[in-house]
Structure 1
Amino acid sequence: NYLQQVIDIAQQLGLNSSNYIFDPTMVRGLDYYTGPIFETYVKKPQIGSVTGGGRYNNLIADLGGPQISAVGTTLGLDRIVDTIIDQQLLTNKLEHGSIKVLIANFGLPSQPQCLNLATILRQKNINTLVYPYPDKLTKQIKLALSKSIPYLVILGPDEIKNNNYTLKNLNNRQQQSLDLDQLIYQLQSPKNS
């Protein structure tokens, strides 16, 4: 039974059974769903579902693609933002000048490594911003300067090949090639605060 498999997996993941409800009367308004559907709610504020989706085995083929089974979801960004505000989940607002480092974005193939680096730096409590799309380095530096971001990390093809990072100090224009541990040390150093 498919439903029992879902319940078993939820239990194996350690999900508390009080956090999910199986409702056989739930209906979503789209007819391409072919299996289980779901909606996600928050307890406060009571604003309706914040996500919803389900299983659709024929949709890709119906749109001219191959016969592939899939599961999809949507996010209600307005409702998620309302929840964040209501729950005061962003108590540490980033103020002008509070971002320590901008990671330059050159697109593929380095983009996944840039996002991974951002996660690592954030886990080390280093306020990090990834430039939102691939662009010329001069434009990325201009953004960093306009936001008073003191450091730029470059992770381009040369850096990937050499397994290092280029850290550019935007205040004195000096740059250095560092491995990950050195990069973290430099960014956490009190003299670089």
Structure 2
Amino acid sequence: MDGVFAGLGLDITIKINSRRLMNTILQKFGVTAETSPAVIRAIDKLDKIGAPAVCAELEALGVPAAAALLQKLTPAKTYTETLQQLNDFDCSEITTVWQYAETLGVDTVRLEFNPSLARGLDYYTGLIFEVMVRDQDIGSVCGGGRYDNLCGLFSKEAFSGVGVAFGFERIMMALEQLEKLPKTTTASQVLVTVFDEASIAQSLSIYRTLLEAGIASEVYLQPVALGKQFKFADQKRIPFVVVCGPDEQAQNMVSVRIMSSGKQKVIPVQQLAQYVQGYVQ
């Protein structure tokens, strides 16, 4: 998992905790087995709604010393300090995983022991984890943990399992925001932009003209900011971008940018195919 995100070039934090440890802490603070699932779901909202709101929910659930419980679950500045904060509990599951991570060459700067990490689903029984991309407010991009009883619901045999899920859309969002998506190549020679809704028909007409001239082209189709359309062409390494805004349309002209040089020229629409072919050939 650490290697996957390193390969993607994402700076991550892997938060780890133990549901076994959390259950022990909750019991110590007087949380009953009946209210424990609801309490864990409330704690799971800590990053989303903040400590005061979670504390209010815990008090509504009848948790004694809710503020003290949250303070106990709040991670300290360092791994060692967090362990010291929980020195009256058995944290051996965490320390063992931490040691194995070091053995496997995981940079522990990317690891965080967070006793408040809950993973709200009830079936987790042991180690749990979440992966966050640093400096990106998009939530977790990966998460999972150990469950000792879940698989037994679908089998006559009892056996344990560990599950992990990757948030593909969030990972893609992080890669896009951090400009880490690889630039792709394309057979298209021209991207025809769309200035606004009213310009779609004109853009499609220009696109058809280029295709009829044997020039591989594509049209963006969405009237988003031109900067985004130019960025799209740059990522796909499309060498020419055509813009036909209201001013160009009024004069039956188009603006053509050569992406490699940034040179831009306004020419009549009927000369566009010839202009592009002059560069391509």
Question: Greater relative contact order (Cα 8 A, min sep 6): structure 1 or 2?
Answer: 2
Compute the TM-score of the two structures, normalised by the length of structure 1: 0.48
Higher helix share: 2
